[in-house]
Structure 1
Amino acid sequence: MEINEQVEKILAYGECCDHCLGRFFGKRSHGLTNDERGRGLRIARALAANQPYERFSGTCWVCGNFFDNIPQWAQKVAAALEGHEYKTFLVGCRVPPLIAENEEMVWSDLSLGEPEPFKSEVNREVGKAVSVITGKVVDFKKPDITVLLDPASGLVDIQVNALFFYGRYQKFERGIPQTHWNCRACGGAGCEKCNYTGKQYADSVEELIGRPVIELFDAENAVLHGAGREDIDARCVGTGRPFILEIVAPRKRSVDLAAVEAEINRSAEGRVSVALSRWSDRSEVETLKSSKAHKKYRILVEVDGQVPAELLANALNTLKGVTIQQRTPERVAHRRADKIRERKVLDIEYVGEQDGKFILEVLGEAGLYIKELISGDQGRTIPSLAEILQRPARVTSLDVVQVEGPQEGD
């Protein structure tokens, strides 16, 4: 079918603006806007029929003359972006169902193989107009802010994309969870039991790091993503634990990481310390959380009765290099699947004594339950130090002293 014939069939549906007429042939030729392409098609049609050329002046049945309002939409977007620091943006659009139905009907009826959707032209044309007003650049891959237009309601919604940074934290105080826990009694609503805070614990590593970050970036929230987690009653010292902090909806973006590190360490002094390495992104969060890094622990072990040095040494040699069968410990069974996991004890050694208790260092595969490796958890962990020694044993304190980050292992 000739183009002029296709144009006649399109215009037979009703009045059609140059933008929409041009979009039906949006991938034909180059260097033209759809508006220019549509005018060209009208001129070619008039020439072929030897009729006067008439500019479009009615109401487009496809889009309702949406494109006449591009300047107004651009002003709305620019106003919505005020107060946010950003270098790049991207415009998106919620296409009204009627417009989508109109253009798809023409595509299908006339078997048009080279159209451009309404959404694509809206995003591009509004984006260009906003860029002129603001001086900012469109970024299709990782924009600082995404703007969503809703032609049906006339509203603009902005989504401020998160910032991420990578670092390691040390936790010096026992009794602090890694992340915020809602109060078990009220689920976070606030009650007498939690003093109407909605929190099970007064603080967390996430909050101690996140509070100054929220203020520095004027953000809505900060979410900590860790490479595993230590128990609430454990410290995390030595190399510290790798983490990525997600800064949710920041209004400020150009904050120096050295200043961020200094402020976190000042505000959380004596409780938590961080060493920040670099900026990160969302894709690295998945890598970090799925990494199976080895971890090294220093533990204080109490054993009932007298344990000769030779007996302890033999027991540790028995555990070294062994794959442990661990059924989900009773202490976490309420929140984890009840199954048997196999984890290897890569190394375990005696390093001294303190107050009649043994100081041991254990290097294990990710997911090895250290407390149960010692106690046996009433037979749920096999073998265990208690089983080998044939007497009760328990961990009285635990410190994480080394955690590998992604791609930091052997």
Structure 2
Amino acid sequence: MDIIHEVEAILGYGDTCNHCLGRFFGKRSFGLTNEERGRALRIARELAENEPHHEPEPESCWICGGEFSRIDAWAAMVAEAVRGIEFETFLIGTKVPPLVTESEEMVWSDLSLHDPEPLKAEMNREVGKAVSVLTGKTADLKRPDIVAILDLAEGTVEVQVNPVFFTGRYLKYERGIPQTHWDCRSCRGAGCEQCNFTGKQYADSVEELIGRPVIEAFDAENAVLHGAGREDIDARMLGSGRPFVMEVEAPRKRSVDLAALEEEINRTAVGRVAVHLAGWADRKMVQSLKSDKGHKKYRILVEIDGSATPDEFRAALDQLKGVTIRQRTPLRVSHRRADKVRERQVLDIECTGTQDGRYWVEVVGEAGLYIKELVSGDSGRTQPSLAQILGRTASVVSLDVVLVKTANEYGE
């Protein structure tokens, strides 16, 4: 079927606007809009059939119902919907009624058309160009700051504000604070007498202590902390701090001064948590941080049940140095982690002093090494362990993380 007969067949379905007519051949030729292509095809067909020229009313189009005559109106709705939101780049998306999609796909199939462009694609492009003119902002198909969704059936615009990410390191000086928010175990966040109707298991977390100033600075809905591992709730995070990426959800502001934000976080969380913010990040950095298998250094205070001379204690530690430890998921976390055996290496371990009959120990281990169980043995679930080697009960009295290095920092 030649192109004139294809045009005639398309028009046989009903009144078709130039936009929609051109879209059926949207991937043919270059340098024309679909409207220009449709008008040219219509005129060519009329010349071939010796018919007078006829421009259809846009609203009579049996496919789009005149949506392409309302491009400027849609653009104005988008501009109004994003008022008060700071952004530099945007993307337009369109929800097309199923009947419209079925209608155009029926024509593609019936006439075996090979070069059509979907209505959604043209709406996205044309409204996007109009929004760019109205706002002075740039369309970005890959990483837009915001996405405006046009709902053709409802005649509404929904705005999705994409998150902002920044990275840094945090220190935790106070024991008893979890890394992230925990819902109350009894009510699962709903609020009950046990949690004083807060919905939280713990009053504060590192995530919230950092996140509250972040939410205010970015005028955001929420702030989610992604850490390079996590310390136990009763452990401090000292030294140079733990790497993290903060995900700021639905921010209405984006150009925040990170130096000023760092100062505000450290002021409001003084004595509990501190941060050093390194710069902006993205979602790929979150994935990299989560998958990083760097090493960590711990300082622990170990208590032995019974007597053990310093020489005996150091000799036991030497038997753990460089050894690969087999650890079944500890009993204390078995309710929230898969029950399996993990193998992690003790890279270095040494006694650095004593205090009131207890021993200070520094341990460098692979990410994921359970330090408390390395000492106690966890009823045989961790092998070998310090308690097993000594033949005595051993436990960690206090634990501090003093160094977290990513694999990249180790040159791995």
Q: TM-score, normalised by structure 2?
A: 0.98
- Deviation per CA, 1:104-153, whole angstroms, max 9, x where unpaired? 01111111111111000000011111111111111111111000000001
Match of 2:365 in 1: 364
Shift of 1:406: 5.0
Shift of 1:212: 0.2
CA distance in 2 between counterparts of 1:227 and 1:262 reads 22
2:22 is paired with a residue whose SS is: helix
Shift of 1:345: 0.7
Match of 1:135 in 2: 136
1:319 is paired with a residue whose SS is: coil
2:319 is paired with a residue whose SS is: helix
Q: TM-score, normalised by structure 1?
A: 0.98
Match of 1:24 in 2: 24
Structure 1 residue identity aligned to 2:38: G
Structure 1, unaligned stretches of length 5 or more?
none
Shift of 1:57: 2.2
The range that moved more, 351-360 or 11-20, is 351-360
Shift of 1:306: 2.2
Alignment of 1:100-111 (within 5 A): 100-111=101-112
- Deviation per CA, 1:327-346, whole angstroms, max 9, x where unpaired? 11111111111121111111
Shift of 1:405: 2.7
Alignment of 1:1-400 (within 5 A): 1-57=1-57, 59-400=60-401
CA distance in 1 between counterparts of 2:355 and 2:209 reads 31
Structure 2 residue identity aligned to 1:257: L
2:225 is paired with a residue whose SS is: strand
Contact 1:86-1:253 at 8 Å conserved across structures: yes
The range that moved more, 301-310 or 176-185, is 301-310
Structure 2, unaligned stretches of length 5 or more?
none
Structure 2 residue identity aligned to 1:249: A
CA distance in 2 between counterparts of 1:380 and 1:31 reads 70
CA distance in 1 between counterparts of 2:401 and 2:392 reads 26
Shift of 1:191: 1.1
The range that moved more, 25-34 or 44-53, is 44-53
The range that moved more, 202-211 or 303-312, is 303-312
Shift of 1:299: 0.4
- Deviation per CA, 1:9-68, whole angstroms, max 9, x where unpaired? 101111100000000010111111101111111111111122211111261111111111
CA distance in 2 between counterparts of 1:219 and 1:406 reads 32
Shift of 1:218: 0.3
CA distance in 2 between counterparts of 1:68 and 1:381 reads 70
- Deviation per CA, 1:383-406, whole angstroms, max 9, x where unpaired? 111111111110000000111135
The range that moved more, 44-53 or 22-31, is 44-53
CA distance in 1 between counterparts of 2:72 and 2:382 reads 68
CA distance in 2 between counterparts of 1:69 and 1:407 reads 53
CA distance in 2 between counterparts of 1:8 and 1:51 reads 12
Structure 1 residue identity aligned to 2:44: A
Shift of 1:323: 0.9
Moved beyond 6 Å, runs of 4+ = none
- Deviation per CA, 1:348-389, whole angstroms, max 9, x where unpaired? 011111232111000111111100000111111111111111
Shift of 1:196: 0.9
CA distance in 1 between counterparts of 2:36 and 2:314 reads 85
